Amino acid sequence: MIADYTEAAVCHVDDLADGQLKEVQVGDTDVLLARADGQFYALHPKCTHYQGPLAKGLLNGHRLVCPWHNACFDVRDGHRLEAPALNGLPTHEVRIENDQVFVRLTTNKESLENPMVTPDPTNGETYVIVGGGGAATFAAEGLREGGFTGKITVLTESQERPYDRPNCSKDYLQGEAPDEWMPLRTEEFYQDYGIDIRTNQRVASLDPTTKQIELASGETLTYDKALVCTGGQPNLLPDVDVNMQGVYTLRTLHDSQRLRELGQSGKRVVVVGSSFIGLEGAMSMHKLGCEVDVVSPEPVPFSKTLGEKIGRLMQGWHEKEGIRFHLGCKVAQVEGNDAVKAVLLDNGQRLPADLVLLGLGVHPKTDFLKSIPLEKDGGVKTDAYLKLADDLYAAGDIAHYPTPDGSERIEHWKVAGVQGYVAGLNMAGREQPYHEVPFFWTNQLGKRINYVGHADHFDDIIYDGDPQTDESFLAFYVQENQIKAAAGLKRDQDIIAIRELMQAGRMPSVDEVRQGVNWLDRLKEV
């Protein structure tokens, strides 16, 4: 009899120790082999987010973490544990014969989605999600994964179903990512799981005392439970008419599409602000063929977050490509009647411009909330379960959540996704506190810097490697004699290990870090 499957011996039992990963081949198929607690597992070798090489990631217990954006999977069944990946990993059968490990290709494509329930028509409850970003997507799936079978309605101002927002300032803006890459899920997916995505819906008010949501159209919805995850609204320049032809922000897919179309003709672009999005936008517009000037009051980009050394390094990457910086200055005036002609700086310099891109960060979009106290920055304060009020939850850019160091609010895609997922599970009846260590990444001219933890200020920075001379490095941010955050270039496994140690409350002391730590060995210690 001829076998109707493909199987191969891929290694000896003693070739892999616990915690090790190895990419092997079964026939013409690449497979990731992993060993945890003495058991072997075989999975798809690429992250389902951006196809990151998982063999270069890290295995901590049963947690398999991608090196690129720290998506996390359960190595035992391939299920997705953490954003930014939505899908899990296909798995294969493994058997041991004598001292050899055999893998049989048995990929089940249906295993890509975490197990979720389908709607029950007899369940009359309605849960509403206000917002259409990453937090909303993961929340809807968290509700179904948590067992909620009632009606799920997602209200988004966007014209599109939830999409990959981080790509709007990177490959998509550069014209290197097709439109079909951008949606997070297909329309069929939402139909299959009874998730009603209502686009072009602006919420005028939400009142937790009456559990009513009023839309700008005049329609009123009543909810049993709701999640608010409306994200951020771009900051604008005072006295500058954002409706002037040639003045743009970069927040939405529509923004990215419009800038991509305009940038292809080789315009003169002035980017106001040296934020991560601002410089990613500058990079992308330059790749489209534009002349780009960056204006910022900061003397060094990113110095408040990453420190001056790394800030100067990143500035140098952009300058090497021809992007010009005007630092320590502010915009005095945007010249032009109906359309932008130039940007006048407060030092008297005049920059000719066809387009002005505002990269000034965002503020929480919460003005529609009634009877909910707002924080100074416009955000809202939740408890450890991301609950905002009775039957009302919050997640993502707007949420101040409790940590051992006090309340924190983080603006990043992975954080929003994980918070949305936890909020969805809790709305479905789980009691799961949110206590994840933050992670974010930025891609500047093909170089990815990963950052873990949170330091709103720092007293010192400890470097492992020199950002000025080395191809790779780590930077540790010290606040009150504790390591509160770390950033790394080409140190992906170390960054994963640091985050896992932070998560477990096992970070080494400042003195130990100064002396040097082998992060992979430290993670293995019990």
Residues 6+ apart with CB under 8 A from 382: 388, 393, 394, 399, 400, 401, 402
Residue 1: per-residue pLDDT: 38
- CATH number 1.10.8.420 given to 446-524: no
Tokens of 111: 């295993």
Which residues lie across from 485 on neighbouring strands?
453, 477
* E strand or H helix at 60: strand 58-60
DSSP annotation of 323 reads -
Evaluate whether 126-233+364-427 and 247-359 have a shared fold. Answer: yes
Cβ–Cβ < 8 Å for 443, 280? yes
DSSP state of 507: P
How many of the other CB atoms lie within 10 Å of CB of 17?
9
The two three-digit tokens of residue 385, written as one number: 């379960």
Q: Find the helix or strand (DSSP H, E) in which 104 lies.
A: strand 100-104
CATH for 7-112 (2.102.10.10, 2.120.10.70, 3.50.50.60, 3.40.630.30): 2.102.10.10
Q: What is the pLDDT of residue 240?
A: 82
Domain 247-359, CATH 3.90.1150.220 — does that match? no
Q: Which of 25, 58, 31 lies closest to 44 in space, CA to CA? A: 31
Q: Where are the domains of the chain?
A: 7-112, 126-233+364-427, 247-359, 446-524
Q: What is the block-wise mean pLDDT of the chain (526 residues), using blocks of 10 residues?
A: 76 96 96 97 96 98 98 97 97 95 78 91 97 98 98 97 96 94 96 98 98 98 98 91 90 96 91 95 96 97 96 96 97 92 97 96 96 96 98 98 95 97 98 96 94 96 95 97 98 98 97 97 87
Which residues fall within 8 angstroms of residue 517, CB to CB, at 6 or more apart?
Answer: 508
CATH (one of 3.40.50.300, 3.50.50.60, 2.30.130.10, 3.40.50.970) for 126-233+364-427: 3.50.50.60
Q: How far is the C-alpha of 350 from the C-alpha of 193, rounded, in Å? A: 55
CA distance 476 to 463: 6
